[in-house]
Amino acid sequence: MYTWKITELRFNILSQKLAEQIEKKGKKYGSIYPIPRGGYKLAIALSQALQIPIITNKNLINDSTIIVDDLIDSGKTLSEFPYNDKAVLFVKQNNECKVNYYVQKTDDWVQFPDEKDNEIETDIERILQFIGEDTNREGLIETPKRILKSYEELFSGYKQDPTELLKVFKEGSCKEMVILKNCEFYSTCEHHFLPFYGHISIGYVPNGKVVGISKLARLVDCFSRRLQIQERLVTQIADCIMENLQAKGVMVICEGVHFCMTSRGVRKQNSSMMTSAIRGVFEDDKVRNEFLQLIKM
């Protein structure tokens, strides 16, 4: 048998039609009782459209309660409520007499949008509609999926434990400054959900424990691939190194270009933002200058 997959958009249009039908009839209902679970989604839509509260407790059903379900098949479930009006989206042929309101007759197998499976995709569809797009347009059909996939990478930092990254260190007698210079980063501004990106330089003076320079680069990724503000990005990196390597000192400098500044708001296309975090021996002018000199080279 053919399965008719109802999209979220279609579902919204149909439930809107049902709400209009109920409103037109002019009868006032005091509450909506959805048949579990098929009626839940429709009940929410009707409740919003008609400003009628939903009840989920059967004992609260009274004469002014309207019973809702997505589809009436045999009509068995609905026959439990002989004294109440009933509204459904679909009726199977010859069952229309059992309900007061319905939108469409069908003998197809109907599959409703599964709230659990495509909830986030649907939310992204709504954002696309909000900006003025037609979500049925060819080029946009796979867009919610693609956006979610890119989020997995852009926000992969949440799945990483920064202390885990610095766990493997070498004991040594190295007392000289170690520098990671101009490491690229790509992050997302937590105020506007827009990208900011640039370069980070890290210097630290070890106190016995050193890590490979690639670990520092991964630390940058770990903190930048989250929702961030540039000020916190540098302090988190500095504090993490101080704590896990018990370094004598750390300095982190970051230069970032923010889309929220360059493409909107004040629209200053050539401005970048500098932030820094200074810990331990870098408070000392001599140490700090050495670092600044070295990252300039």
Q: Which residues are catalytic?
A: 189-192, 230, 258, 260
Binding window for Zn ion (CB under 5 A); candidates: 14-22, 177-185, 252-260, 263-271: 252-260
Rounded distance, CA 30 to CA 55, Å? 10
Binding segment (CB under 5 A) for Zn ion, from list 79-87, 188-196, 200-208, 279-287: 188-196
Among 189, 242, 251, 252, binds Zn ion (CB under 5 A): 189
Query: Near Zn ion by CB under 5 A, which window of 18-26, 56-64, 106-114, 254-262?
Result: 254-262
Count residues contacting Zn ion (CB under 5 A)? Answer: 4
Output 54 or 257, the one with its CB closest to Zn ion: 257
Q: What is the distance between the alpha carbons of residues 265 and 133, in angstroms, rounded to a whole number?
A: 23
92, 192, 199, 288: which one contacts Zn ion (CB under 5 A)? 192
Under the binding rule (CB under 5 A), the answer on residue 268 touching Zn ion is no
260 binds Zn ion (CB under 5 A): yes
Q: Given the complex with Zn ion, which of 15 and 230 has the nearer CB atom?
A: 230
Rg from Cα positions in the chain: 30
Per CB under 5 A, 232 contacts Zn ion: no
Least distance between Zn ion and beta carbon 286 (Å): 36
Interface pick for Zn ion out of 5, 27, 146, 191 (rule CB under 5 A) = 191
**How far is the C-alpha of 11 from the C-alpha of 193, rounded, in Å?**
30
Q: For residue 70, give the amino acid letter.
A: D
Q: Which is nearer to Zn ion, 150 or 263 (CB)?
A: 263
> Pattern of binders to Zn ion over 138-177, x per CB under 5 A?
----------------------------------------
Binding site for Zn ion (CB under 5 A): 189, 191-192, 260
